[in-house]
Structure 1
Amino acid sequence: MAGQERHTPGEYRTQPVWIGASRISPVGAGYVAPRFELVPELMEDLARYAARTDVTPLAHTATAHAQFETIHPFTDGNGRSGRALAQAMLRRSGLTTNVAVPVSAGLLTDVPAYHDALTSFREGEVSPIVEQFAAASLRAVPNGRQLLDDLDAILQEWTETVRPRRTSVKKRLLGFALEHPAFTAEQAARELEVAATNVYRYLRELETAGVLAVKKEHRGPTVWRAPAVLSAIDAFALRAGRRSAG
């Protein structure tokens, strides 16, 4: 959002925002967020609520997420920020430990129902948004497990193809590519703590083996990709039924 006149990344909004209707006027909008002057106080209140430990974790996460979306503290990116908040709260509560359960993908399976639940929350009815999070979690867990199984199978296939030594740079590079399916040589070298000039040899070997593919971006750096991982992520998104990004 940097450099755009309408947005102030990293700062609370200083203008009205609304959802639906015209971009020029809130007349007829589906939802008009609180006045921007109230946002700092509302966010402080939300932070206090999110820090509580006496609320059932999933209900706690669902209601905090809904309140964040109700405040709509930024000019853009509120949906993504609100879903990141949900993941952070799930991790803090101990419901998730090692991976991010794709609850947001489950929520976006039925966008109208999710929006209806947010509307109900704003009218004082909490149950619908909690039910949406519960249903999304039930959809997300098996989908996430499938993705993990797919990634494990990819890593095993890579290892059998390349046969790297256990502590070699090539072995570590396979793990890096699994977690970062699109990267530059400089990023890989920095993460693996090797010289950028040295990492190119391993990248080319993995390209020859079919593990990686490379593409020179227009007016940008050369990007190395792990096609198998990207395909697994695409399949995950299709299973989730995600139809829009927020």
Structure 2
Amino acid sequence: MRLSFLALPAGWLLLGALWSPVATAQPDAGPVTPAEPVAAAAAVPAAPPVDAPPEGAVVSPPPATTTSPDGWTLTVGAKDETQKIIAPLTTAISSREYEVGGVFNGSLSGPEEATPPRGVLEVGYQIGCGIDMSTSNGVSLTGTAGINPSLGILGTDVISPFPEGVLPGVAGNLGGGITIGLKPGIINMVKVTEKQYTGAEPWVMVHGFRIKIDGCVGESFIRSYAVLTRSTDLSDAVLAYYGETKKV
């Protein structure tokens, strides 16, 4: 009995040895090398912003130039012109309104004189209208109305000099029409300023100036103009510049 008592723990010890986990050896991976940072992509310089032309920008034609009989050269032109369509305050379809601007330059060069050149630089706009209603009768209504009374005599069954009765009648007439007075187109001259100058480089700047015409039907056209005049006690030399025509 003593021997069997001691054999039981030995069996448990053997069973425990069979179920013990087996340790596996792993190779040493060594120190971990940190990943190298990715090189930043080369920064591409941004393209410089392109200034958009102002609203209603108009390309100006080349300056006009001429030479006077006394040897002076006159030049007049414009730059940075704008012509923007504006809804008229009257809301009428026969009204035209614009907001205009630009820089108008004059230049004079010639023989040496004791006094600088002098004269006038006039700047304005021309507005052409296809059909003009401003100087005509415009739109008018015409009509006629009237009443025509009448009397009828009722006949008799027997011969008699007297009628049996009188039948009154009333007839009326009514007529109407619309008359539109139209005239061929005209050109409206709108002078903005007239600058009297003394010197060789006169100029005028216009910005945010509004002009309006009424009584215009159909298409309209607008363009700028500048007139440079050199004046002396004996003469005037006049040179005109006309901008690009814009159709509306």
Q: TM-score, normalised by structure 2?
A: 0.19
Larger RCO: 1 or 2 (CA < 8 Å, sep 6+): 2
Highest Rg: 1 or 2? 2
Higher helix proportion: 1
Q: TM-score, normalised by structure 1?
A: 0.19
Higher strand proportion: 2
